[in-house]
């Protein structure tokens, strides 16, 4: 059963496109999307996720959503703190780099989330439609907590960098399009969404495949940096997502979500940001080494979550649902 899940996941077009990108990077083939196309597909995915989530939110009650939202906020604080502490044990990184990594792992990956939804749909497993709300919520606190943890270790600190990072986190493209999409979807409702469903729904998996092709090339390029990273970082980049994912699943189940929904929350907490967090960290913590964070989040955690993590978190969710 478990290998069937892994096989289903790997045999999907988006994941295979990702692996093609990794292969292309290894062969040093030029497979990058033109920058404008990359930006457009990124905006499309963000808006599409937000829209669907907003429509689902309209059909959910406040009591149904309140528990998972609260669980998400709590996890948004716990996960980066855990990452900061565990990195101290596993690596010799200083507090600034650990804070930067905590910011990355405290936030979330839209693409991993999207791939998880595609996987659940293909496996005919239901989940709460408002999970995009949880994604939007989790984008923000983790980054801020990570920056705070690193900032405490720094004397003085650059106020301008902090305000720029705050602006980047709160008004950056990811949050604006997700939150905006949620609002639009909520206001338009199922009837309004029906008219754009062929574009934002029908084309979704195909656009995701294109985007993952690009991410595969970027992740593949990062693999070369693994050699310089030491053993602690790769161990963290694989073990921590499993720990954080399990915490997310527990939080989802305790908050009353279905097995599929709790698995999605687990995917959110297990994933690491490599777009929103790097930008904010670069502004607020310029002393942090961006290569370390990106190698971990994009080079190791993202491929791990995409190929193995997603089916693994479903297994954990099903097992825990039977116990809790």
Partner 1 sequence: MDTRGFVTCITIVAESIVESRLLEGLTASGARGWTITPARGSGPKHQGMSEIEGGSIRVEVLASATVADRIWQLLREDYFANYSIAAWEYPVQVDRAERYCDPAPPR
Ranges within 159-218 binding partner 1 (CB under 8 A): 160, 164, 218
User: Residue 12's closest CA among 103, 118, 84?
Assistant: 118
The verdict on 98 binding partner 1 (CB under 8 A) reads: no
Question: How far apart are the C-alpha atoms of 202 and 167, rounded to whole Å?
Answer: 33
Q: Does 90 bind partner 1 (CB under 8 A)?
A: no
Report how far residue 108's alpha carbon sits from residue 137's, in angstroms, rounded to the nearest whole number: 10
Residue 94 sits in the site that holds partner 1 (CB under 8 A): no
Q: Total binding residues for partner 1 by CB under 8 A?
A: 17
Regarding 256 and contact with partner 1 (CB under 8 A), the answer is: no
Per-residue binder mask for partner 1 (CB under 8 A), 25-64, x = binder: ----------x-----------------------------
Q: b/e map of 74-113 (b: 16 or more CB within 10 Å)?
A: ebbebbbbbbbebbeebbebebbbbbbbbbbbbbbbbbbb
User: Is residue 283 within the footprint of partner 1 (CB under 8 A)?
Assistant: yes
Helices 13-26 & 110-122, crossing angle to 10 degrees?
130
Residue from 279, 284, 292, 317 touching partner 1 (CB under 8 A): that is 279
Minimum CB separation from partner 1 for residue 237, in Å?
17
- Entry field: residues in the chain: 324
Nearest distance in Å: CB 287, partner 1:
6
Nearer to partner 1, 58 or 98 (CB): 98
Q: How far is CA 163 from the centre of its chain?
A: 24
Among left, alpha and beta (phi > 0; psi -120 to 50; other), residue 77 is alpha
Q: Is 253 in the site for partner 1 (CB under 8 A)?
A: no
- The Cα 209–Cα 192 span in angstroms is 26
235 makes contact with partner 1 (CB under 8 A): no
Nearer to partner 1, 282 or 308 (CB): 282
Q: How far is CA 323 from CA 126, 312, 317, in A?
A: 20, 17, 10
Residues of this chain that bind partner 1 (CB under 8 A) = 35, 160, 164, 218, 221, 274-275, 278-279, 282-283, 286-287, 290-291, 294, 298
């Amino acid at each position: 059963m478990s290998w069937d899940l892994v096989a289903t996941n790997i045999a999907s077009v988006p994941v295979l496109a990702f692996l093609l990108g990794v292969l292309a990077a290894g062969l040093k083939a030029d497979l990058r999307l033109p920058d404008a196309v990359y930006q457009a597909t990124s905006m499309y995915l963000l808006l599409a996720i937000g829209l669907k989530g907003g429509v689902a939110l309209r059909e959910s009650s406040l009591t149904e959503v309140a528990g998972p939202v609260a669980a998400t906020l709590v996890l948004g604080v716990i996960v980066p703190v855990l990452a900061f502490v565990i990195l101290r044990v596993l690596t010799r990184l200083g507090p600034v780099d650990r804070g930067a990594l905590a910011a990355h792992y405290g936030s979330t990956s839209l693409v991993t989330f999207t791939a998880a939804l595609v996987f659940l749909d293909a496996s005919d497993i239901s989940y709460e439609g408002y999970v995009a709300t949880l994604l939007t919520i989790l984008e923000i606190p983790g980054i801020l907590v990570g920056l705070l943890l690193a900032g405490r270790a720094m004397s003085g600190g650059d106020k301008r960098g902090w305000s720029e990072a705050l602006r980047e986190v709160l008004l950056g493209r990811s949050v604006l399009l997700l939150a905006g999409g949620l609002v639009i979807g909520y206001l338009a409702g199922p009837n309004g969404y029906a008219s754009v469903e062929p574009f934002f729904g029908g084309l979704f998996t195909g656009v995701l495949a294109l985007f993952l092709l690009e991410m595969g090339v970027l992740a593949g390029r990062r693999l070369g940096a693994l050699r310089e990273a030491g053993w602690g970082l790769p161990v963290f980049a694989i073990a921590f997502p499993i720990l954080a994912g399990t915490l997310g699943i527990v939080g989802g189940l305790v908050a009353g979500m279905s097995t599929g929904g709790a698995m999605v929350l687990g995917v959110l907490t297990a994933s690491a940001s490599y777009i929103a967090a790097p930008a904010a960290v670069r502004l607020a913590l310029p002393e942090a080494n961006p290569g370390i964070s990106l190698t971990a989040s994009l080079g190791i955690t993202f491929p791990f979550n995409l190929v193995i993590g997603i089916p693994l978190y479903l297994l954990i969710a099903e097992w825990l649902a039977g116990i809790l």
